[in-house]
Amino acid sequence: IHFYKRIMFKNLKLLSQTNTRLSQSHLAQLHIWSSGPASDLPTTPSSPSILLFGFAGSSPHHLAKQAAVYSSLGYNSLAAILPAQHLFSYDITQIQTCAHLVVEAAYKHNYQEVVIHSLSNNGAILYQHLTQLVATQYQDIIIKGAVFDSAPGPGTHIEHLPFPVASKGRLTKRFLYTAYQTVNKANRMKLRDIMAASVDQFRHLEVNWKLHKDVPYPGAFLTQERADWPLLFLYSKKDNQMPWRYISSIAEHQRKQGRNVSEKMFSSSGHVAHLKIHPEEYKQTIGNFLDNIVK
């Protein structure tokens, strides 16, 4: 039996004996909420509005920090956190459903022109499916730009090596299994909960993989995307979860396609920690990007 199946079946037996499982309804909840401009700014918010997509395992508290940056710059924002198990179980149907819910929320708040800010691959995959949805069904929503914060990343381990390696970059199940455990550990989940999440992932990924294995992961999607809105990539050599060379190569690829691409490499911040470690640089970089869009 495959190594991962052997581990998952062992964990499933253990968890059934101890009667510990994560609540699927709790895990699958999509959080969406709005923020407005700071109170000391003019009452009319700047256009475009911002769609903020959170990293795997993030909470409204985490995303509120990014929303505060946009509020201080005078922009409305709508934040959403895709449930992490949708990404790591590769449940494309659920991801598309979440993208629909975000579009509905954007309509409810009268957002017509938007800039999308995606944190890590969890945010980037929601960007991926929302932009496809807008292109095919909701063309009255105009995407004015996109910010990729510690994203996008590859779907294999080989690009994480500390030197350039030629790779086809196809997503693998092994990557999704190990990445989910790594992310949950980084988010300080208890070991028992990590194991429960992994068992639940196994149940769903084995089914979803047969249906969606050819759907590109965010990094591969960004190499294929043919759109005209400008892009900003925020990354760091100190990020041990997202290889900076890979992000830089995506940016360069889009630039060669004639797209307006900006990059900011921070000196000492880890994964999705650029705002925390470099708050003034972060805000200035975002502000300059938006200023160029609204000119």
8 A C-beta contact, residue 27 and residue 187: no
pLDDT at 93: 96
Chain segment 230-281, per-residue pLDDT in tens? 999 999 999 989 999 999 999 999 999 999 999 999 999 999 999 999 999 9
pLDDT at 82: 96
Between β-strands 75-81 and 261-266, what pairing exists: parallel, antiparallel or unpaired?
A: unpaired
pLDDT at 23: 37
In total, the chain counts a number of residues equal to 295
- Using pLDDT thresholds of 50, 70 and 90, give the confidence band for residue 39: low
Cis ω on the peptide bond leading into residue 48 (within 30° of 0)?
yes
Alpha helices in 239-295 (DSSP H): 244-256, 274-277, 279-294
DSSP code for 166? -
Task: Enter the pTM of the model.
Answer: 0.87
% of the chain exceeding 90 in pLDDT: 75
8 A C-beta contact, residue 104 and residue 219: no
* 20 vs 113, residue with greater confidence: 113
* Burial degree of 170 (CB within 10 A; 0-12, 13-18, 19+): middle
How far are the Cα atoms of 2, 183, 254, 261 from residue 69, in angstroms, in the given order?
46, 25, 26, 21
Maximal C-alpha separation, the chain: 63
How does the average pLDDT of the chain come out, rounded? 87
- Using pLDDT thresholds of 50, 70 and 90, give the confidence band for residue 22: very low
Residue 258: left if φ>0, alpha if ψ -120 to 50, beta else—which one? left
